[in-house]
Amino acid sequence: MYNFDFEKPSTIADAVAALAGEDAQALGGGQTLIPTLKQRLAAPSTLVSVSGIAEMKGVCVEDDGSVAIGGATTHADVAADAASSYPALAALAGQIGDPAVRNRGTIGGSVANNDPAACYPAGVLGSGATIVTNTRQIAADDFFQGMFTTALEEGEIITSVRFPVPQAASYQKFLQPASRFALVGVYLARFADGVRVAATGASEDGVFRWSEAEEALNKEFRTDALLGLHINPMNMIGDLHGSKEYRAHLVSVMTKRAVEACS
């Protein structure tokens, strides 16, 4: 490690002001950033922790029925506190990492980092959620812009994520046992106006929607509707854990399992 300044503001306004400093970096649960600093892949002069901002924590049901989750809310708290209002999302949070990770990592940090194998991006994109920052609201379809890339601008903080609650939803995760990330994960949400299917862990471009599956399931919501549909393996991730073709196949398998769980 190396020397850096540490700020722990108690309000969003103070955090934004601290991040305006030269080379400042926001710190959520630190599950990605701290290892990155240890490997000297990043070297911010100031870390601005958002863990002390009370208005960025918690799960609440809005007047319109949507579920709002503060950006500094830990995975463990999402798993516990969203269980009644959005069970599928709570189940997703409960599958992230191990207890140590779930009690430190935050939804805002995970979404902002946009790791290509992280679970939350699939839940956010599959739900058609809205990412709320200190300056604006960003639709999930516009937020994720490629591996580790998002629409966030310099100094922008995810203050909360708002989820419309579907009629039914399911997250099916094929676990990479060493890292506990998703080798492939599929989040399916069925709304009155249509189905959304988002996959993580599979593509070199990060989380994505499988539009062909959505179209087929909108016509007939059953696993047979997916027969004959295949993901092009060209842009899939290929590594020692699984080939491009294997991951493409897993997207189909996990999607079918999600349909079964929602039927």
Q: Based on the domain organization, do 177 and 159 belong to the same domain?
A: no
CATH number for the domain harbouring residue 130: 3.30.465.10
How long a stretch of residues is the chain?
263
At 166 the pLDDT is: 98
pLDDT surpassing 90 at residue 36? no
Contact 91, 99 (CB under 8 A): no
Q: Based on the domain organization, do 194 and 208 belong to the same domain?
A: yes
Q: Based on the domain organization, do 185 and 138 belong to the same domain?
A: no
Instruction: Please say which residue of 138, 163, 188 terminates a domain.
Output: 163
Whole-angstrom Cα distance, residue 247 to residue 250?
Answer: 5
Q: Based on the domain organization, do 156 and 141 belong to the same domain?
A: yes
Whole-angstrom Cα distance, residue 236 to residue 244?
Answer: 5
Percent of the chain at pLDDT above 70? 99
DSSP structure string for 95-164: TSS-HHHHTT-BHHHHHHHT-TT-SHHHHHHHHT-EEEESS-EEEHHHHB-STT-BSPPTT--EEEEEEP
At 21 the pLDDT is: 80
Pairing of strands 158-163, 24-27: unpaired
pTM as predicted = 0.95
Q: Based on the domain organization, do 159 and 182 belong to the same domain?
A: no
Whole-angstrom Cα distance, residue 183 to residue 78?
Answer: 22
At 54 the pLDDT is: 95
Q: Based on the domain organization, do 111 and 149 belong to the same domain?
A: yes
Q: Based on the domain organization, do 40 and 138 belong to the same domain?
A: yes
Average pLDDT over residues 224-250: 95
Instruction: Please say which residue of 104, 130, 163 terminates a domain.
Output: 163
Average pLDDT over residues 167-177: 95
Whole-angstrom Cα distance, residue 20 to residue 27?
Answer: 14
Tell me the torsion sign for CA atoms 159, 144, 168, 253.
Answer: negative
Q: Based on the domain organization, do 155 and 228 belong to the same domain?
A: no
Angle between helices 120-127 and 87-94 (to 10 degrees): 160
CATH number for the domain harbouring residue 184: 3.30.390.50
Whole-angstrom Cα distance, residue 237 to residue 243?
Answer: 7
Report residue 1's pLDDT band, with 50, 70 and 90 as the boundaries: low
Out of 12-21, 193-202, 221-230, 246-255, which region has the weakest mean confidence (pLDDT)? Answer: 12-21
Instruction: Please say which residue of 163, 196, 230 terminates a domain.
Output: 163
Report pLDDT digits (tens) over 187-230: 999 999 999 999 999 999 999 999 999 999 999 999 999 999 99
Q: Based on the domain organization, do 92 and 201 belong to the same domain?
A: no
Q: Based on the domain organization, do 40 and 140 belong to the same domain?
A: yes
Q: In what order do the strands lie in the sheet with 137-139?
A: 59-61, 67-70, 158-163, 130-133, 137-139
Residue type, 255: T
Structural domain boundaries, residue 104: 5-163
Contact 192, 124 (CB under 8 A): no
Q: Based on the domain organization, do 79 and 118 belong to the same domain?
A: yes
Whole-angstrom Cα distance, residue 65 to residue 244?
Answer: 39
Average pLDDT over residues 18-34: 84
Report pLDDT digits (tens) over 114-160: 999 999 999 999 999 999 999 999 999 999 999 999 999 988 999 99
Count of domains observed in the chain:
2
Q: Based on the domain organization, do 152 and 183 belong to the same domain?
A: no
Neighbours of 228 (CB within 10 A): 8
Contact 124, 140 (CB under 8 A): yes
Place of tokens 């994960």: 185
Report residue 245's pLDDT band, with 50, 70 and 90 as the boundaries: very high
